[in-house]
Amino acid sequence: MSGFGIGALKSYPCVEDQDLPDQDLPAGIIEIERLSKVFDTAHRDRHLALSDISVTVADGQFVSIVGPSGCGKSTLLYVVGGFVQPTSGRVQVMGKPVLGPGPDRGPVFQEFALFPWKTVLGNVSYGLIEQGMARREAEARARALIELVHLKGYEHFYPKELSGGMKQRVAIARTLAYGPSILLMDEPFGALDAHTRTRLQNELLEIWERDRKTVMFVTHSVDEAVFLSDRVFVMTRSPGRIKSIVDITLPRPRRRAELLVDRRYQDYVVGIERQMDDPPEAGGT
């Protein structure tokens, strides 16, 4: 009896791992292959939002997607997040096909999307408690994150009592809390005034420098993309396609004041704006 059991167990190691082509996989943590998305519009004509997109994002890379409004850049992000199903093509994250949303991919939206019935502390600890962590421990971790996003002292405020910039800090902390390996940021600073926006860009880079999570960052602002990213995907409108991929080799850590007078930074911004559909004078922000 026992001999039979051992024999059955022994047969496993022979096939294990050998057939899986680990080495063939590119280093991409996100792999998008021939992705298309068609929306059915109200008047029954079909709108091709994304057309045949194939890109790879490497682990630890900060990637921005820029393009004119309506080019499908947010849709691309939602497909990676699992919130929107593609019409054709495939998306893999860490070697596994995306079937739906999951805690490995943390979204941050322009609309903040905080839970208004929860305090700052309640929002930030929500994901941790949801994943089974004890409340005390979850709140301790949440407090550390609240401090990281410079909101110490606001733990018991409700979202309605916060300004836009503070709400987005809470949203970032809430997403960081449950430890996603990828951040999906959908025009996170788009609803903020210029001053707050600059501050949050700096804070985001500071946070990112600590553990260099993979970031997919959608924006319509070319200089924001160049300032933040290692790599910029430039998209064109109708149908949404990747027009070009620009590697930003500016040194880190980046300081805004230095970059603005840096010729290379200016060349990146002007070069990308030229590639966008919109005329250059309308593209820059």
Partner 1 sequence: MVDEALAAAHPGARQRERMTLATIPGLPPVLACLALFLAWDLTARAVAIDSLPSPWSALKEVPAILGDGEAIGNIFASLRRMAIGLILAIVCAIPIGLMMGRSRAVAAFCNPLMMVIYPVPKAALMPIIMLWLGVGEAAKILVIFLGVSLPVIYHSYQGGRAVEEKMLWSAAAMGMTARARLFRIALPAALPEIMVGVRTGLVLALITMVTSEMIARQNGVGNILFNSLDMAQYQTVYGMIIVIGVLGFVLDAAFQMLRGVLVAWAEPAQPIIVGST
- Kindly list the residues in this chain that would bind partner 1 in the complex (CB under 8 A): 78, 81-83, 100-103, 105-107, 109, 111, 113-118, 126-127, 130-131, 150, 154, 157-163, 165-166, 171, 174-175, 178, 180
- Closer residue to partner 1 (CB): 91 or 246: 91
Sign of CA dihedral 265, 270, 274, 278: positive
User: Residue 225 is encoded by which pair of tokens?
Assistant: 């993309």
DSSP 184-199: EEESTTTTS-HHHHHH
State the nearest-atom distance from the C-beta of 7 to partner 1, in Å: 40
121 close to 143: Cβ distance less than 8 angstroms:
yes
State the nearest-atom distance from the C-beta of 131 to partner 1, in Å: 6
Question: Position of tokens 């970032």?
Answer: 172
If you ran DSSP here, which 8-state letter would residue 154 be given? -
Rg, Å, the chain Cα set? 21
State the nearest-atom distance from the C-beta of 194 to partner 1, in Å: 15
- Closer residue to partner 1 (CB): 219 or 236: 219
State the nearest-atom distance from the C-beta of 44 to partner 1, in Å: 17
- Closer residue to partner 1 (CB): 166 or 272: 166
- Closer residue to partner 1 (CB): 118 or 241: 118
State the nearest-atom distance from the C-beta of 105 to partner 1, in Å: 6
89 in the Ramachandran plot: left (φ > 0), alpha (ψ -120 to 50) or beta? left
- Closer residue to partner 1 (CB): 109 or 265: 109
State the nearest-atom distance from the C-beta of 139 to partner 1, in Å: 16
Question: Cα separation of 27 and 94, whole Å?
Answer: 9
Burial class (CB within 10 angstroms; exposed 0-12, middle 13-18, buried 19+) of 125: buried
Largest CA distance in the chain: 80
- Closer residue to partner 1 (CB): 12 or 117: 117
